[in-house]
Each structure stands twice: as C-alpha cells, then as structure tokens.
Homo-oligomer: A and B are copies of this chain.
Amino acid sequence: MNTFVPSERSRVKRLFKRAHYDADTVHRLIDEIGTGSVGYVIKGQPYVTPTLVWREGERVYWHGSSASRMLRKVHGGVPVCVNVFHLDGFVLARSGMHSSVNYRSATLFGTAALIKDAAEKEASLKAFLDRFVPGRWETLRPVQAQELKATSVVGMTIEEASAKIRTGHCEDDEEDYALDIWAGLVPVRTVIGEPEDDPRLKPGVPRPEHLKGIRIG
C-alpha cells in the first residue's frame, strides 16, 4: 500500500493543502515523532492515553502495564485513533487571524489488539527499545518470563491515515505587510539533554555509545 485512501473518517477537512495521505509521509512522521495519543471509547466516553509508539511496516505498537485501563479495554480488539504530533514552532503574523503554528501530525485509524504470543511480544519490545535507543537491548539483563506477562503490547494495523504538516512563514493579508508589526517564526524543538548517571551506577561502568543514538521529536 503506497497511499491511504481517505474516507469520511480520515479525510482532512480543513486546509487540504497541508494534507498528505501517502504511506511514506505517514510512516516517517510516526518514526520521527515517537510519542502518540491513543484515543478509544468506553461506554460512549472518550479517553486519550499518551504513550510511546513505534512502527513495523503497516503496524504501529505501544505498550504498557497489563493492568492499565487502555490495555484492558483493547483486549478483544477495539476501534482506536492514534495521533502523533510535534509542534515545530510559532508562526507569528501581523494579525491574530493569520498567526499559526508549524507542526507535523499524523492520525491513524485501526483496530488495536493485544499481542498474546510471548515470542512476538518479546520481539516487539526489542523493536521498541531499538526505535528509541538503538543498540541498547543487547546490553541489558535478559527479560524474564514473568516480566513479559506483566507487560502488554498492543499492535494496530493502520487501516486509514492522514498526515498534516505546516512549515514556513505566515501568509498575512496583503495590506498588513505595510504595518509596523514584527512577524516571523519562533522555532520549537525537542532536544536530548546530557545523560545523568544513576546514583547507584557500578563504579567503572562507562557511558555507552548508544546514548548518542537516541531519537525523538
């Protein structure tokens, strides 16, 4: 599948020029942003749970405790909406109307279900850590069977998706460009800070190279 075909559910209603339905763009945003908001319904009430998300092919994954509300709910397979979003900056125009923000956003629709097979679950948790801290998994103490049981992983095949991206400067009303008002961009970025050693770090254990590979945002 190279392009998601938008239905009433996924078609971007506003500012279609910012809309993208190609799988490459949707996948790239999931991979870049890394944080997601999972929306689901229980007895007519909407819930939104923030989480880290990762992707393999046409499937997105997230994880959590087996006791969490969201993960118990999706046990049997339920309709879910996942949004990944990153604010990239403020677009400050000469009027309130044309002031905006730059951002990357992708909204994914599908049916979420727990991954029950232990081997598949362990593989997906490795893929999870590889996404955020590539190379770290192999350095860790191996996973124990009861830890796998206490962890739930949810997978969702992306049935429909849309992306929306805004970049660049404002588009002011033509006559407003003559005003003595400052306009421009103020970028917003996610940055990875300097690592801090655990207070109980065993003496002599060095900081691993894989810390330099952390990516999010």
On A, residues with C-beta under 8 Å from B are: 9, 13-15, 35, 37-41, 44-50, 52, 64-65, 67-69, 79-83, 85, 87, 89-90, 92-97, 99, 101, 103, 105, 107, 109, 125, 129, 132-133, 136-137, 139-141, 143-144, 147, 150-151, 169-170, 172, 176-202, 204-208, 211, 214, 216-217
Contact = CB atoms under 8 A, between A and B. Distances in A.
Nearest to A67: B14
Given A83-B37, A125-B96, A182 B200 contact: no
Given A192-B187, A193-B189, A136 B46 contact: no
Contacts of A137: 96
B97 A143 contact: yes
Nearest to A64: B14
Nearest to A197: B184
Contacts of A169: 198-199
Contact of A170 (B96, B186, B198, B217): B198
A186 B214 contact: yes
B90 A132 contact: yes
A50 B85 contact: yes
A144 B140 CA distance: 60
Contacts of A180: 202, 204-205
A45 to B, nearest CB: 6
Contacts of A107: 47-49
B45 A81 contact: yes
Nearest to A38: B48
A83 B143 contact: no
A23 to B, nearest CB: 20
A31 to B, nearest CB: 16
Contacts of A206: 182
A127 to B, nearest CB: 12
A50 B81 CA distance: 12
